[in-house]
Structure 1
Amino acid sequence: MKQIKTMRTHILMAVLGCLAATLGAQNLTFDDILDDLRDHRTPPTWHAADIFVIDSIYCFSTDPQTGLESPATREYNLEFTEDGQVIRRLRQSWDTTAGDWVNERFYTAVFNDQNLIVELIEQAWDTMAMDWVNDIRTLQTPNANGLFTEILTQFWDAGQQDWRNESLNEFEYDGAGNNTTLIAKKWDADQNQWVNAFKIFNAFDNGRLAADLFQLWNAQTAAWENGNRSFHSYNPTGTKSEILSEIWNAAAPDPFWQRSSRQKFEYNADGLQTLRNLDLWDNVDSAWIHKEQNLDTYTPEGWNDSTTTRFWADTTWVNIFLTARNFDEAGNMTRFEIFLFQNGDWQKVTTCDFFWRLLNPVAVRETPAGGVVRYANPAAPGDPVFWEKLPGSGKLRMALFDGRGHLFFEQKVDNEGVMNLPSDISDGFYTLVIFGEEGLVFSGKIFVYR
């Protein structure tokens, strides 16, 4: 048995070597990066009409030999709904030959009166025609509760100049809105009809996923066949503790469910996941074998600032990937970095910078007892702050504190006046405070954005 295990280890290390070489030569897909952003986005709302949105994203590739960065991909969100959803966005890639950005994809979303996306059209840039051409269309049908019951994907047929069906996902829900069934279908152009592809059943217990079953459609027998299933366990606190997966062994004389993999999770005192272990079942030795491990760390605010992925190599865990994330004072992710472990150290592969802004900024008009304070929000360096008829006698003091609570600026002021924000103030959140002998007169947030 030891020989079999050693052979498996050599194969695993060879696979890891190929994987490392591949990742070193190409970037993580941009859609993967956007998925990570959505998973870790915690945008706050300072005022009723102010919403944080991403203005643009710039991604760079790093040469592992020289450490030099070169442009890779960038994306602009061009238009938003009132609640910050993207209506139009443009993706461009860097052309090393031309030394310039070139168009790649253009996305246009259509929303219904529930503010749900019902149509998404993705266009590709035609370098010959120098114009956008249709590529993919996604049509989503929601029910009265805002849950999607159908998602139809179509590809553009340039010859027919029309949309061609590609795939259809149908969803069913229980009374609590939990997705109990997904049926995926593919379009059969020869038969001009939809044909089943696979089906997923989900079972819930008090709103938590308890089990799932995956089945494949057998066109020859016109029946569903078992593929794999999973059982989900939870801690008393409600966090997930384990996922046990099995595959259907149809080749056995008497088909049965066979162990496949398991995932175990650990959490810190705040209930945030710090560890995920993936083990595979070894049928030869009837034992679990380590496969993959994810380690997560967090900032004091609870933002997931790093994820380390490691693979098991015979007797020890081997570092493979490191995802590092930076956040601003409001919890918006500002930088995303991917590192690959090579030659005993982490080598940066990809960097993405996220640039945020406030949507629908409003002029703040706070009204303390007997007075008014007015300023733009967001504000730029040098913008004025007006105040008048503030309560209290004698001189007042105005102070500006940064997001860490450090005093950035302070001066004496009268009950009425105007002050310009310092020209050397950096982007970020600040707290404006006015106080006098009677105590606090005013306190408000200012977001500075150049």
Structure 2
Amino acid sequence: MKKITLLITLLLFFKVHAQFFEDEFGPLPEILTIDEWSGTDWDEVASQEATFNVDCLVQTITTLISGINVSRSIYSYNQGNQVIEIIIQTNIAGTWFNSSRTQNTYTGDNLTEEIESNWNGSTWINSFRIQSTFTGNNLTEEIESNWDGTNWENNLRRQNTYTGDNLSEEIESNWDGANWGLFSRTLYNYNGSNQLIDDLFQLRNAEDTTWENANRSIYTYNAADLLEQESYQEWNTVNAMWVNSEQRTYSYTGSNISAIISSFWDGFEYLPEDRSLLTYNANGLIAQLIFQDYFGGDWENTSRITFIYPACQSLSTEEFTTFDFSFSPNPSSNYLKVLNLPQGHTVLNYMVYDMSGRLVQKGKLNSDLTITTQFMTDGLYVLKLSDGSYSQAKQFVVNY
């Protein structure tokens, strides 16, 4: 019941529903159904229904609880198919009322400003803002601010440093009313293949201005360069050592994730806690996601999500069939390397689309045929390669 409550809460309160589903599950479905396991059968408790335009861009997403309309999101786009406005509405006694709004501003392909506002019954009132600065496609700074009724007041700042295209350091600072004060930082390390192998989170000691360890994540990969395990550790200040905390293990069918098992450290060993089982349709899109808890030595169903997609989501397997390629690692947490290109297809343009049809990144393949993915949110994407005459597109997973 805990997972069901969480999923319904997310359906109701995540303001940008399409982004939530891309982050958590991948492509945006036309119909999404959440079921609860009764012990003998699945019982539907909530659903979402989406409509799409002729370009396969989402127009509306409606959330239903027990078959009753509860909330909906309405999307608007610019000529470049970038989302410029999302209006969230709630249903009261059969009438839709405005609730909140997100407005996006872009510089080229980069989202440089997001403004959230709330409806007071007659007009929109500013609430929250994120301003982003880029160097090329690399996000170098984000500033979050809140509306005080008259002006925007700074709240949080993130500053990113890179080694090449790899994010090496992220620093967060808080605004004290006059100055930015350092709060935390994350350090990222990579192997020779540019795969993320660990990230270290530290907190700033305000007294002696030193950085103190807090927690870290360690990533390992299998022989196919697929993410195999994430291990999480907490820093024990008394003993000055790392202590195991949690672990996530991934299994695959081909390059598709088939199972994710989460375990916790009991002081001696990792014990399984819950797992997610994923199945896919003929187009390689997630068709079903089953959540289970580990109890008494057995896995027990708790909830299920079923995905049904619009016909336009078959882009990756039906539209481009003129040449082939592969890539690694998949899932990707930092970069994607294109492999096995046929002879004569070495100079290529690339475009990356999320599964609501939005172009999130484009460019020309560099000499080592790698594409940076570290600023894409978790989910499924479509990579399209083109040499001007021929095109091919395939899906890949971003997972941190």
TM-score, with structure 2 as normaliser:
0.73
**Residue pair 2:3, 2:303 contacting (<8 A) in 1 also:** no
Say yes or no: does 1:246 pair with 2:202. Answer: yes
* Shift, 1:358, TM fit: 1.5
Partner of residue 134 from structure 1, selected from 55, 80, 98: 98
1:333 aligned to which of 261, 278, 286:
286
Structure 1 counterpart SS, 2:294: strand
Tell me by how many angstroms 1:324 deviates. Answer: 1.2
1:104 aligns with 2:94: no
Task: Give the alignment partner of residue 184 of structure 1, picking from 124, 144, 159.
Answer: 144
Specify the alignment match of 1:118 in structure 2. 84
> Which residue number in structure 1 is paired with residue 371 of structure 2?
none
Q: For residues 196 and 314 of structure 2, what CA distance do their matches in structure 1 show?
A: 40
User: Does the aligned pair in 2 maintain the 1:40–1:304 contact within 8 Å?
Assistant: no
Deviations 1:214-239 (A, max 9, x none): 111112xx111111101111111111
Question: What CA distance in whole angstroms lies between the structure 2 residues aligned with 1:173 and 1:90?
Answer: 34
Instruction: Evaluate the alpha carbon distance shift between residue 315 and residue 326 of structure 1 in structure 2; reply closer, same or farther with a 3 A threshold.
Output: same
Contact 2:60 2:75 in 1 (8 A): yes
1:280 CA drift (Å): 0.7
- TM-superposition CA deviations, 1:42-83 (whole Å, max 9, x none): 8xxxxxxxxxx73211111123xx34322121111122241x
Q: 1:137 to 1:303 in 2, by over 3 A?
A: same
| 1:147 to partner: Cα distance | 0.8
Unaligned runs of 5+ in 1: 1-20, 43-52, 95-100, 365-450
Q: Percent identity?
A: 18
Which residue does 2:110 correspond to in 1? 147
How far did residue 26 of structure 1 move?
Answer: 5.2
- Structural mapping, 1:284-433, within 5 Å: 284-300=238-254, 302-359=255-312
- The answer (yes or no) to whether the contact 1:37–1:333 under 8 Å persists in 2 is no
Deviations, residues 83-128 of structure 1 (Å, cap 9, x unaligned): x22011211111xxxxxx100111111000111000000101113x
- What amino acid does structure 1 have at the position aligned with 2:63? R
- Structure 2 distance, partners of 1:263, 1:361, is 35
Corresponding position of 2:50: 77
Indicate the SS of the match to 2:282.
coil
Distance 1:137 1:181, change over 3 A: same
1:423 match: none
Counterpart residue type for residue 166 of structure 1: S
8 Å Cα contact 2:230-2:249 kept in structure 1: yes
Which residue of 1 is the match for residue 226 of structure 2? 272
Structure 2: how far apart are the matches of 1:320 and 1:34? 27
What SS is found at the alignment partner of 1:359? Answer: helix
Of structures 1 and 2, the larger Rg is shown by 1
Partners of 1:80 and 1:88 within 8 A in 2: no
Structure 1 stretch displaced more, 265-274 or 110-119: 265-274
Of the candidates 150, 169, 174, which is equivalent to residue 216 of structure 1? 174
Contact kept in structure 2, 1:197 and 1:216, CA below 8 Å = yes
Give the Å deviation of 1:312: 1.1
Aligned 8 A contact 2:257 2:278 in 1 = yes
CA distance in 2, matches of 1:360, 1:297: 25
* SS, match of residue 309 in structure 2: strand
Counterpart in the other structure of 1:381? none
Separation in 2, partners of 1:325, 1:361: 19
Distance 1:361 1:232, change over 3 A: closer
Structure 2, unpaired ranges of 5+: 319-400
